[in-house]
Amino acid sequence: MSTRFFNTRLYLDTLKRLRLVGIITSIISVLPSLLSVLTRYMSYKARPIITGYTMPPPQPPSLEGAVGGLYLFMFVGTLFLVYTAFSFLNKRNSSDFFHALPDTRSCMYVTTWAAIASWIFFTVAESVLLTWLAHVVTGMPFIAAYVPLLLLMFFISSLLVASTATVAVSLTGTQ
């Protein structure tokens, strides 16, 4: 019996296969944003001690500069997720195994793509929310209206890159 649209077990298996790449890309996308907040905080707190002058209050980051690490993730990290998820298409043995499963090819495509989209959502949400939390904890200004905009902007942009890459990987097939 074949699953017509979505296979939960294949989805969970794909999430597990993407775990290493997902964790690495999550860490790489969060670090630049957190380091940016911490360096701005240290610079703001250390300057009056060093120079003896009072500092004007810090300015909030621009929309583009709020989460800098996600730009790298949007293009490079998403491609790593896609190529890892569809890596079974590049080896004959793995390809034969996955195509022997009682699922249709469209089910395998949708299920794998859903796992990629889940990792993308987790990484984008983690990066944006941790950056916002770092601003709150350090007392640095951050415009709260940026949070939903950043979530949508990076999630949709990453999905666009992932969609393009999944079509490209699917068309190339087994070597």
What pLDDT score does 175 carry? 41
What pLDDT score does 161 carry? 95
In this prediction the pTM is: 0.84
Asked if the model's pLDDT at residue 15 lies above 60, the reply is: yes
Higher-pLDDT residue of 102, 136? 136
DSSP 163: H
9 pLDDT tier (thresholds 50, 70, 90):
confident
* pLDDT tens figures, 146-168: 899 999 999 999 999 999 998 88
DSSP 90: G
Higher-pLDDT residue of 69, 21? 21
Higher-pLDDT residue of 118, 90? 118
What pLDDT score does 51 carry? 60
* pLDDT tens figures, 27-81: 999 999 888 888 888 877 766 665 666 666 777 777 677 788 888 899 999 999 9
Span 103-120, mean pLDDT? 86
- pLDDT, averaged across the chain: 83
Encoded tokens for 30: 């969060």
Distance CA 106, CA 30 (A): 33
Alpha carbons within 13 angstroms on the beta-carbon side of residue 44 total 15
Asked if the model's pLDDT at residue 174 lies above 60, the reply is: no
Asked if the model's pLDDT at residue 3 lies above 60, the reply is: no
Q: Give the residue from 72, 97, 76 showing the smallest Cα distance to 87.
A: 97
Distance CA 38, CA 32 (A): 10
Four-point Cα dihedral 21, 24, 27, 33, nearest 10: -80
Residue bearing tokens 């890159």: 161
Provide the strand spans (E) within 62-168.
Answer: none
Distance CA 71, CA 150 (A): 11
